[in-house]
Structure formats: structure tokens, C-alpha cells
Structure 1
Amino acid sequence: MFIPITPQISDYAFGRFRELPSPLFGSTPPWLMQIPVNHKISLGSDIIHFIKFIQLNPSEKDKRKQLIKQVTKVIDSLKIISKNGKPKVSFVSPQTPSCVTLYGSEKSNLALPFSDIDISLSGDFININSTIAFQFISDALANACICNEVLSLPLARIPLLKMKGIQDEINIDISIDNQNGIETTKLIGRLCHKNSMLRPLVILIRYLLHQAGFTSVMSGGLNTFMITLLVYSFLEMYNTGNITGGVPDNDIGSVFITFLQHFGYDFNYSKYGISVGVECSYFEKASRGWLDSKRPCMLTIENPFDETSNLTPNVYLTPSIKTYFANCLQWILPSMGDDIYLFLPSNSRLARIISLPEELLNRNK
């Protein structure tokens, strides 16, 4: 049921408050600048043009590839040796095969301009203390004037070294033996290959959640893998008619509206969890003991690698995310007196809910 609510988004992750519509509302957004001013478009076309605008452009791809190449060369040149029982590092010619494995959104083609680059290390780095390994790597990359250290988390469940490229300020996350990250990236690739609408819809949903501060797992939000599973399960059930109860529409605009309706209003977060198995389905959370009495409305997604494990036990911003989706739906629907399907670029419906910081507004000029 569609219930009007006050269109305000609370951004808990960054301590800000955003209000809809966005500042772009009422003007032609940058992704539609090439469309003739009197040419009417659909929401689906609006979305497709936004995806083309927001995804990495050739220059950004080249800069990121160059950073990956530089970081890989330095790390593969580090030889860990033991001297008097203590690990030391020496520099040698880059070793083959490389101990650096790229994973995450950069590998799965879901990267956006603000995305981190994720790499996992193998080889000698697995066999030494993470604190020492990260110190070796951080010093080597800093001395080579490639990256500066931002944060070292050697005692985390998956040890992590966060660095930033000196030249272009691109963030890079370095982990050790992160097999889970590598396998989830492979799964995302398979799912995107299976459903062609998954990638553009994930990019759109991910951007919306990012601009509202809902993509930090540490702050109770959803990471890219969780968003991908959420969208994939929706698409699979949508295509079988399980969500609409009718013939599915292949237009991405219609699919997006249905997604917002489903997760903004219809889906019962307290009762059901999401399974992305051989066939996507919903299950009763209580039947698996996954119903948190203190936070019953949290989004629950079954871990596709372990059906006995809840992938999203700490997404405590679920109520805010649900409200956010509901708000986005209200603003994106036609206004009173508008054409239901078509509108001019200056009346972009997507621009009502998309905010662009200055660096993204000017990146393709």
C-alpha cells in the first residue's frame, strides 16, 4: 500500500541530513545534457543515461589501472627473509606469479568514481605477522611515492591496510589472504552474467545508498555484495511474476519503481529473510532463529556460501533504508498533471533523488 510520508532522509553514517528533492530538481542534470531540450524521454532512458554518466570514464579507468600496476610491482618486489629469527624485507626483481589478486567492485565492473580498489596478498605475507607485513608494504609504497598510509587494521577479522594514492588520491584497501572477498567477487561476476539488468540496477541502488550514507557496514549499512544479492533476488523473483503477480516489464524504469515499492513498502523485514540459492526465495526468519527481538526489522540475507549463516546480522540501519526507498519512490513518480511515461530533460525524474557533489558534477567536462 502506498502511504505518503514526509520526504526527508536521515544520513546517520555521516551525521548529515539530506532532504528530497535533490538540488538538481527542476534543471537538466549533467547526464542528460546531450539530449535535445524538447525531446521527451522515459524514466528508463533517464536511468540508462545516468549509469553511463556515473560509471568510470576511460581516464578514470586508466588512472586506477596505473595505480594497481604500480602497487603490484612494488609489492611483488618485496622479499621476506628471516634474520636472527625476525622477518626482514629486501627488494628483488618482481616475482612471478604475482602475490597480488584484484577483487571487489574494480574486478566485477561495478566500480564508481568513489570506489576503493581492493587487493588481496598471498605468498610470504600469509606467513608473517600482519602488523609487520603492513609496515613493510606501507613503507615501501610511501618511499616509492605511490601511496600514503591512511589506516592499518592488522588485528581485524580480515587484516586490512588502507592507503591512498599520492597522485590521484584513489583509495586502495590491501588485505591478506582474503579468500572470502575473492569468492564473493567471482559470484557477483556470475550473477551479472546471468542477468543483464543486474549491473545497471546495482550501480543505481548503490549510488542512492551511498549518497545517503548507507553503504558502510561498520555503520549498519549495506556493502556492494549485500546490495548485489538484494537486487539479484528481487530481479529473479520479479521475472517469475512472484513480486508483481503478473507479466514482468523489461523496462529498467518500471523495474526500478517496483524495487522501491517492494523494499520501501511491501516487503516484511520483520518476518522474512532472503535466500539466493538455486532459486531465489523468502524464508521465515523465526524458523532459523534469525529473528532479533531487539531489532526485528533488520534486513536478513542468507549467506550464499553457507546457508546456515546470516550475511547481514548488523544492518541496523534497515528502517532508515526502508524509509529512504519509500521517499525516493514518492519523488520519482509523476507529479499531478504530468505525462505518466514521458518528460523533458529539464524535468528529469531521476534528478529529483540524485545528488551530485562538485567533483562528480564536473568530472566529464
Structure 2
Amino acid sequence: MTPTEEESNLRMRVIQRIRDVILSLWPDVESVQVFGSFRTGLYLPTSDIDLVVMGTFKESPLHVLEKALIEHEIAIPSGIKVLDKASVPIIKVWDKESKIRVDISFNMRCAVNVANLIRSFKESFPVLPHLVLVLKQFLMQRDMNEVFTGGISSYSLILMTVNFLQLHPHLDAVLAKPGYLGVLLLEFLELYGQKFNYLRTGIRVADGGSYVCKKEKLEETRQGPSMLYIEDPLIPGNDIGRGSYGALLAKVAFRYAYSTLLAACSSFLSANLDCDKYSLLGRIIVVTDDVVMYREWIKETFPLTDESRVDPSSIGFCTDDPASDPGTDGGGGLGVGAVSPSPHSPTSSGLSSATSSRSSSTASTPPPLSSSPLSSSSPPPPPSVPRLISSASQLTARMTSSSGTQRYHGSNIFYVAPRLGVSRR
């Protein structure tokens, strides 16, 4: 799951090409900056790239840039989409040459501040990158990582992980033991899969981390219902997880992963199996064949040479800023076995994020991959995952777990899982 040097360099080449187009349109633009997972180093080979353009524009720049990217053959018409009605208007680009996805926004200054915040969290919790990378892959292969489909965003997942580490009662003791990353992963899945009360509790990472009463915070900020309340540490009153209306689907997935790994660990110990030969983590995370083939294609088609190597500072990265290093970061062993293809978990064909450079050799045709994510509607949930319903009628969701019965009244979106005791009254 850790990106290679070729993939990182290819990403920087993609940024460089898009940046050149932007500067050709608006030479006096204030800046073109990278933010998100690529800037912080918490990105997967299948992650997209986030760019923000700072400047003053006489007219809406979205469609102007869309036309220019097509004219410069950065993307084909079916591989670019303008979301001008979204709360944060963006251009979603599917790079024609590398098949890397890029999201471009304008004048979102808070996005850069988020990168600095994540940098401070990485310094405070060195285990953070390892946990986040595995959890991002876990959610992505289940189509639960996009907010516009009700999933949990990378930023929300990072804050959930930070809060988990902040409030861990015995973190120092756990870190002192062999296999501590595996233990922390299991505890994270147990917390958010079984114990955390999504309906009544909110998450706060400011001031050392704490839990907050969701009802009180929503009344205080006068916001609508929120299935996953995460207090924004940078913007008072903002709920980072407000769009994650499918958070309870993620809870089901976390609980599945926890029970699967726990049972697998017990079996491995009783059978005295070698974890170097048999993957435990592969029971919940799958690296599909098309991703492996695509990454091999990147390595062969865009080799890293002195001529193709991109200077990070030329695309807005500060070389003295650890948070700005786009190189491979984290992903070390989790103590529960390596990632490998496994029949125990649903798969996802997603694109491998890799990197773009125009090497001296002509790029061959990439191996078959799924169609562009911009030209298709959001995929349905896997068969094993309960579907979502939306109703204006009053609903009562009752979920019985080890912590007791939880109820929620309202007309929000709920997930339906009869085996969990969710009922309509």
C-alpha cells in the first residue's frame, strides 16, 4: 500500500502539467498549492490529488479551466466534471496519460491549514500514518471513502484516529509491546465498530481530545442532523463529518473487520501458523490484480530517471517542511500479517494512484481498469452491506449492542439491518 518513488514522481509530473495550464490562463494567480493526503504523505497508491488555486478571477474559473484542460489533452471530455453546485465547487479530473484522479478547487485557504494541522498530529503520534493508510484502504475498497456518497472522508478518518489515540488509556504501554500496531488496529475497529455511540456522541480533537454531546453541539451551532459529528479544530461551529450520512454502514464494516481479525488471530495462535506466510490483514483488505498490474505498468512506462525526476519545490512543496514531503510515508507492518489478495473480503477495482512523467519512451497502453469514476453514477453498496433509506416519517432506530440500547428519533437517513434490531415504529 505504500507508494513507490516512481508513483510519487508521476504524481508530481501530473501536478506540474496542470499547474502549467493554470498559469497559462492566469499568469498573475497568487499560487497553485497541493493539499490533502499527497501533501501530508498519508496517501495510498489509489488516492487522488487535491489542488487549490489562490487568486482573483473576473468570472467563474471552473468552466474556463475545464475547457483548457481538454484543449491541452490533460483530460478527455468524459474524464472531467465540474461540480459547481457543491458546497465546495471543484473540478474533478481523470488524467488522460496516467489515469490519476485530481480534484481542483479555488481559494480554499483553510485546506492548506489542514495540512499543517495533520503534520502536528503526525509528530505527536508517529503511529498515525500506519493506522490511517490501512483504514483508508479498508474503506476505499468498500466504497465508503467518499463524502458525496455518504462515506467517511480522509480528513474525518484522520481525526477519528487522532481522537482514538488521544483518549487511549494505556497508549504508552501498548507502544512498548511487540506487534503494537496490530493491537491498535484491533482496538480502533472495536471502538468504532462496537462501542462508540454515533447517535449521541461527537468527537473533538482540540485541547487534547474529548467526547462531546452531539445534541448540545447541534443545538448550539443550529446545524441539521449529523450521523457522524466531528468538531472542526480549525473552524468553530463546523462539523467535519456532517456529510457522512452513511457512517453507520462504516460501523458495520468496522465491526465485521474486528470480529474477522479477532477470530483469525485466535486460529493462528491455536494452529501455531507463521504470519510471514499466511496473511491476517489480507482477510479484511485486498489488493486487486488490476491495481497490481497498473502499478507494474507505471513502473515500466514511467521509470524514474534524472531527466524525469521532478523537484518538489517546483510544484509548491517546501523541502524543509516534513508535512510537505510527497515521498512514501508510513505503511510499515501492522503486526497482523501482510496485505495480500484474500477471498475473505469484498474487492474493489479502483484505480491505482500512481505518478506521471513523460519519459523518453512512448507510454504503452495501460492495462484494463474500471471505467472513469467521473462518467458513472456512485456504485451500489456491496451485497453484504445494508442499504440506506431516506424517509420524512418519524423513525426510531434501535441498535442493541454490548453497551445497551441506543435510540434516535427524527427524519434523517438511517441504515436498515434487521439483524441489528433496527425497526420502524
TM-score (norm 1): 0.72
User: Could you tell me how far apart the structure 2 residues matched to 1:193 and 1:121 are?
Assistant: 28
Match among 44, 48, 52 for residue 112 of structure 1? 44
Partner residue in 2 for 1:275: 204
Partner residue in 2 for 1:226: 156
Percent identity over the alignment is: 25
Residue 347 of structure 1 aligns to a residue whose secondary structure is coil
Partner residue in 2 for 1:151: 81
How far the C-alpha of 1:312 sits from its partner, in A, is 1.6
Aligned length in residues: 286
How far the C-alpha of 1:334 sits from its partner, in A, is 4.4
Structure 2 portions without partners, runs of 5+: 297-425
User: Could you tell me how far apart the structure 1 residues matched to 2:219 and 2:149 are?
Assistant: 20
Return closer, same or farther for 1:202/1:344 CA change in 2, 3 Å cut-off.
Answer: closer
The alignment's C-alpha RMSD in Å is 2.5
User: Deviation per CA, 1:98-133, whole angstroms, max 9, x where unpaired?
Assistant: 63111111111112122111111122xx32222xx2
Task: Please state if 1:304 is matched with 2:233.
Answer: yes
User: Deviation per CA, 1:148-169, whole angstroms, max 9, x where unpaired?
Assistant: 3510123433221111212111
Residue 76 of structure 2 aligns to a residue whose secondary structure is strand
Partner residue in 2 for 1:74: 21
User: Could you tell me how far apart the structure 1 residues matched to 2:68 and 2:42 are?
Assistant: 29
Structure 1 portions without partners, runs of 5+: 1-53, 80-94
Q: Where in structure 2 are the equivalents of 1:37-116 lying within 5 Å?
A: 54-79=1-26, 95=27, 99-116=31-48
User: Could you tell me how far apart the structure 1 residues matched to 2:29 and 2:257 are?
Assistant: 47
CA contact (8 A) 2:218 2:225 kept: no
CA contact (8 A) 1:270 1:296 kept: no
Amino acid of the residue matched to residue 287 of structure 1?
E
Greater per-residue strand proportion = 1
User: Could you tell me how far apart the structure 2 residues matched to 1:116 and 1:361 are?
Assistant: 17
Residue 309 of structure 1 aligns to a residue whose secondary structure is coil
Q: Where in structure 2 are the equivalents of 1:173-188 lying within 5 Å?
A: 173-188=103-118
How far the C-alpha of 1:144 sits from its partner, in A, is 2.2
Q: Where in structure 2 are the equivalents of 1:241-280 lying within 5 Å?
A: 241=170, 247-250=173-176, 251-280=180-209
How far the C-alpha of 1:290 sits from its partner, in A, is 5.6
Amino acid of the residue matched to residue 354 of structure 1?
I
User: Could you tell me how far apart the structure 2 residues matched to 1:221 and 1:144 are?
Assistant: 33
Residue 227 of structure 2 aligns to a residue whose secondary structure is coil
Residue 339 of structure 1 aligns to a residue whose secondary structure is helix
Return closer, same or farther for 1:337/1:203 CA change in 2, 3 Å cut-off.
Answer: closer
User: Could you tell me how far apart the structure 1 residues matched to 2:52 and 2:214 are?
Assistant: 34
Amino acid of the residue matched to residue 9 of structure 2?
D
How far the C-alpha of 1:322 sits from its partner, in A, is 1.0
Residue 310 of structure 1 aligns to a residue whose secondary structure is coil
Partner residue in 1 for 2:216: 287
Partner residue in 2 for 1:355: 286
Range with bigger deviation, 99-108 or 151-160 = 151-160
User: Could you tell me how far apart the structure 2 residues matched to 1:337 and 1:255 are?
Assistant: 19
Residue 314 of structure 1 aligns to a residue whose secondary structure is coil
How far the C-alpha of 1:305 sits from its partner, in A, is 1.6
CA contact (8 A) 2:35 2:111 kept: yes
Amino acid of the residue matched to residue 265 of structure 1?
Q
How far the C-alpha of 1:179 sits from its partner, in A, is 1.4
User: Deviation per CA, 1:134-153, whole angstroms, max 9, x where unpaired?
Assistant: 33322322222223351012
Amino acid of the residue matched to residue 362 of structure 1?
M
